[in-house]
């Protein structure tokens, strides 16, 4: 593909959602209002995100797959000469899959919202915020200047804050946590406003710390250009400077990842967020943190990355076990566990595998981390769509109610919905042949033989705990499938005396359209992992080695 066309496509990915966000706030032209202004603006969201997805697919089709380590479609324009800050865009094998994933999940979210309008204020503001969120997320994966990366990183906070606080649910308050009932801590639901405040305060505080690290690298390295800094491989930074800068950046990115123990904002945010908010938060926003570790910390501060790697791996493994145990506590009978909250805690465990892969500092581990990023986005996005649909039908996401005598029992009442939920669960637990398997396996392979200078006995221990985490994941996911799809009280043949269960609608056509791509890609990535690993591996090799080889 022509270089100019590639440049235009990449620029369009960032700019079109931003322009669409502004246009969503304007009155719809009379000929495009359809059945009303609400329908018009929701259709506008589907149209803009569809065009952005088409541009992302065209960019991927025109990408030079023979040289995925080379930065392509670059635009480099001086923006603030006094500070040497440039509008520098580009894409390589690390960022391309994330760009396509973001465009896909945002389009599917807009399509789902068109048919299932979230309860809340004006749809006009909802669509504007959704498009602004897409623009900031795509920019985070496309920019190649440290200051632009920080601005894009911050750009997503405000729209997600309002999506949670204004379109969220979960006004119910639980009793205070007591030492006699510690499990209450796992299900203490927050109001949307409180959850949104926790989300933005955690991420803002992390971002302030991260900014200091980015400035230190830029000032000491003589440039904010991410390509030049990666090629320099930390040569201009003393070891002390690397340690300080990397620590600040890791803390900021770990909040967004999220890494235990900086994860506590996540369950509340997911529980309170609307369906599309949860899909984008889990499927896309969490990836910004781990992407920053691979793009910035590993190549720009290699000495510090080597120093901090064992600690990062230890936190990652704790997150894997902690997230799984929290899910088991929520899944047990009588715990009043919330299904959305359970999937949120499962994300803590799954992202632990991503962090473990990165912490091995090996091509195998980092490739596994990037693969797990994409797999988690596909699978967890599907699960949050399914839980949202289940809540629309049954009015609750409480597992005890869903599994009770009047609960979902999906296999008998909505078999296609039950089948999709079971598919998402087994994909999430890492069943071989589906996308979730390869990322976890490669992360553990990387831990089996970590980079030179790292303690192999320590990483073997981490690998063993991570392997145990996969067993715990299988346990809670299968419990969820059994309880929601079959129920704690199997349906007995009707005698004619008991009241008839209310109808439970099965999968609608628009839901099938929104979910089918995620199912297909989960299967495709599981059966043909080379399609993704062939993109990431050369780019990872170059980032870890430093410079242009």
Secondary structure string (H, E, C) spanning 230-250: HHHCCCCCCHHHHHHHHHHHH
* pLDDT-based confidence at residue 68 (cuts at 50, 70, 90): confident
Provide the pLDDT for residue 277.
87
Residue 185 has pLDDT above 50, yes or no: no
Q: Taking a C-beta distance cutoff of 8 angstroms, is the pair 279, 128 a contact? A: no
Secondary structure string (H, E, C) spanning 196-225: HHHHHHHHHHHHHHHHHHHHHHHHHHCCCE
pTM of structure: 0.89
Residues 6+ apart with CB under 8 A from 332: 479
Provide the pLDDT for residue 497.
47
CA distances from 343 to 163, 254, 379, 525 (A): 19, 19, 11, 21
Q: Taking a C-beta distance cutoff of 8 angstroms, is the pair 249, 171 a contact? A: no
C-beta atoms surrounding 29 within 10 Å: 8
Q: Taking a C-beta distance cutoff of 8 angstroms, is the pair 318, 260 a contact? A: yes
The per-residue pLDDT for range 12-23, each reduced to its tens digit, is 999 999 999 998
Provide the pLDDT for residue 502.
57
C-beta atoms surrounding 270 within 10 Å: 28
Provide the pLDDT for residue 32.
54
What φ, ψ does residue 90 adopt, rounded to 5°? -175, 165
Percent of all residues in the chain with a pLDDT value above 70, rounded to a whole number: 90
User: How far apart, in whole angstroms, are the C-alpha atoms of residue 214 and residue 227?
Assistant: 14
For the chain, how many residues are written?
A: 549
């Amino acid at each position: 593909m022509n270089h100019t066309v590639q440049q235009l496509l990449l620029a369009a990915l960032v700019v079109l959602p931003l322009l669409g966000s502004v246009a969503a706030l304007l009155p719809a032209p009379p000929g495009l209002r359809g059945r009303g202004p609400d329908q018009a603006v929701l259709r506008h969201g589907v149209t803009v995100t569809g065009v952005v997805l088409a541009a992302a697919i065209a960019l991927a089709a025109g990408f030079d797959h023979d040289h995925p380590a080379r930065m392509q479609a670059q635009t480099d324009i001086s923006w603030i000469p006094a500070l040497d800050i440039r509008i520098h865009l580009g894409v390589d094998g690390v960022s391309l899959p994330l760009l396509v994933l973001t465009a896909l999940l945002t389009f599917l979210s807009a399509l789902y919202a068109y048919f299932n309008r979230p309860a809340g204020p004006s749809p006009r503001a909802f669509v504007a915020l959704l498009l602004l969120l897409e623009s900031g997320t795509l920019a985070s994966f496309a920019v190649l200047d440290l200051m632009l990366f920080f601005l894009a990183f911050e750009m997503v906070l405000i729209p997600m804050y309002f999506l949670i606080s204004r379109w969220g649910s979960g006004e119910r308050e639980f009793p205070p946590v007591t030492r006699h009932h510690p499990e209450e801590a796992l299900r203490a639901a927050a109001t949307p406003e409180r959850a949104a405040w926790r989300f933005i305060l955690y991420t803002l505080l992390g971002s302030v710390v991260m900014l200091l690290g980015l400035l230190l690298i830029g000032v000491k390295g003589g440039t904010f250009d991410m390509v030049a800094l990666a090629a320099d491989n930390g040569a201009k930074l003393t070891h002390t400077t690397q340690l300080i800068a990397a620590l600040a950046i890791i803390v900021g990115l770990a909040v967004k990842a999220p890494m235990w123990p900086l994860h506590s904002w996540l369950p509340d945010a997911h529980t309170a967020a609307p369906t599309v908010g949860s899909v984008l938060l889990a499927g896309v926003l969490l990836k910004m943190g781990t992407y920053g570790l691979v793009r910035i910390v590993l190549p720009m501060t290699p000495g510090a990355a080597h120093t901090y790697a064992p600690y990062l791996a230890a936190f990652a493994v704790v997150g894997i076990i902690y997230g799984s145990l929290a899910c088991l506590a929520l899944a047990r009978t009588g715990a009043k566990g919330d299904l959305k909250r359970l999937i949120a805690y499962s994300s803590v465990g799954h992202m632990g595998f991503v962090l473990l892969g990165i912490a091995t500092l090996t091509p195998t581990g980092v490739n596994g981390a990037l693969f797990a990023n994409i797999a988690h986005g596909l699978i967890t996005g599907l699960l949050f769509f399914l839980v949202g649909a289940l809540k629309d039908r049954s009015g609750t996401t409480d597992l005890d109610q869903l599994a009770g005598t009047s609960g979902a029992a999906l296999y008998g009442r909505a078999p296609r919905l039950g089948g999709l939920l079971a598919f998402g669960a087994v994909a999430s637990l890492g069943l071989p042949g589906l996308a979730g398997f390869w990322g976890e396996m490669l992360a553990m392979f990387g831990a089996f033989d970590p980079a030179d200078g790292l303690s192999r006995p320590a990483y073997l221990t981490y690998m063993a705990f991570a392997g145990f985490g996969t067993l715990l994941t299988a346990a809670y996911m299968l419990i969820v499938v059994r309880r929601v799809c079959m129920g704690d009280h199997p349906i007995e043949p009707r005698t004619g005396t008991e009241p008839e269960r209310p109808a439970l609608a099965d999968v609608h056509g628009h839901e099938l359209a929104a979910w089918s791509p995620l199912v297909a890609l989960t299967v495709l990535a599981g059966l043909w992992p080379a399609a993704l690993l062939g993109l990431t591996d050369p780019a990872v090799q170059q980032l870890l080695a430093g410079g242009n080889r």
